[in-house]
Amino acid sequence: MSVEEHESGDEPGHHHERVDAAVEAHDDWARRRRKGIPTDERLLVVACMDERIPVEAALGIDLGDAQIYRNAGGKVTDDVIRSAALTTQFFDTEEIIVVNHTDCGMMSASDDAVVEGLAAAAAGSLDDVALDPSLPELSIGDASVADWVRMTDDIDEACAAQVRYLDEHPLVDATVHGYVYEVESGHLRHPGGRIAEEISTRAE
Ligand SMILES: [Zn+2]
């Protein structure tokens, strides 16, 4: 092998430089919060906790790309606001994506049925149940349990509303978009974009 062939086939420099780069990359990964390194896509995802939503695959993201907050219904609760405020104000997150989905458990019962079930679990009255035991100093106090667990009638409407709550919140500084994941097809759609229903219904 000639000297030219050898040099053109290899990266220049000593091997320790590549090792150093790998060590530095590992240090960045392990201490990225302390070093002020944002997620790779500067993205927060708020999604329903439903086990049928492959959040990363559906959005085409990998480990390290985004922070992901999942709860029942993919709802913008007070703690979603807290998390979104922190990451957009201090972790350089610039974008939020909300993922709701068809056949959501939050559409499977009425508010009354849920309140009845929770009251039974609390052995009678819900009045003394703490709604946010992890943050007692931030308790939402006299808010009703029915409001707290509010169910969903229309997932497209609900998705658009979650986007609006985040978009309009003064502590959240980000570009916000929402999608409905169709568990039947495995595809995302824009809220209000029910293609299957449209193409199977005669135009007026
Ligand atoms: Zn759900």
Report the separation in Å between the CA atom of 20 and the middle of ligand 1, taken as the mean of its atom positions.
45
Question: 38-109+151-199, what's its fold?
Answer: Beta-carbonic Anhydrase; Chain A (3.40.1050)
Q: Which residues pair with 141 in a beta bridge?
A: none
What are 151-155's contacts with CB under 8 Å, separation 24+? 151/106, 151/107, 151/109, 151/110, 151/111, 151/114, 152/73, 152/104, 152/106, 152/107, 153/107, 155/100, 155/101, 155/102, 155/104, 155/107, 155/180, 155/191
Q: Tell me what pLDDT residue 142 has.
A: 67
Ligand 1 ion: Cβ-proximal residues, 5 Å cutoff: 48, 50, 104
The domain locations on the chain are 1-37, 38-109+151-199
What is the 27 CA–ligand 1 centroid distance (Å)? 37
Q: Which residues of the chain have a pLDDT value below 70? A: 1-12, 130-143, 195-201, 203-204
- In the reported structure, the alpha carbon of residue 60 is separated from the centroid of ligand 1 by a whole-number distance in angstroms of 20
Give the Å distance between the CA of 165 and the centre of ligand 1.
18
Report the pLDDT value the prediction gives residue 1, as an integer from 0 to 100.
Answer: 45
pLDDT of 197: 63
Distance 87 CA to ligand 1 centre (A): 24
pTM of the model: 0.83
Residue 21 Cα to ligand 1 middle (Å): 42
pLDDT tens across 95-107, in order?
A: 999 999 999 998 8
Instruction: Identify the pLDDT of residue 183.
Output: 96
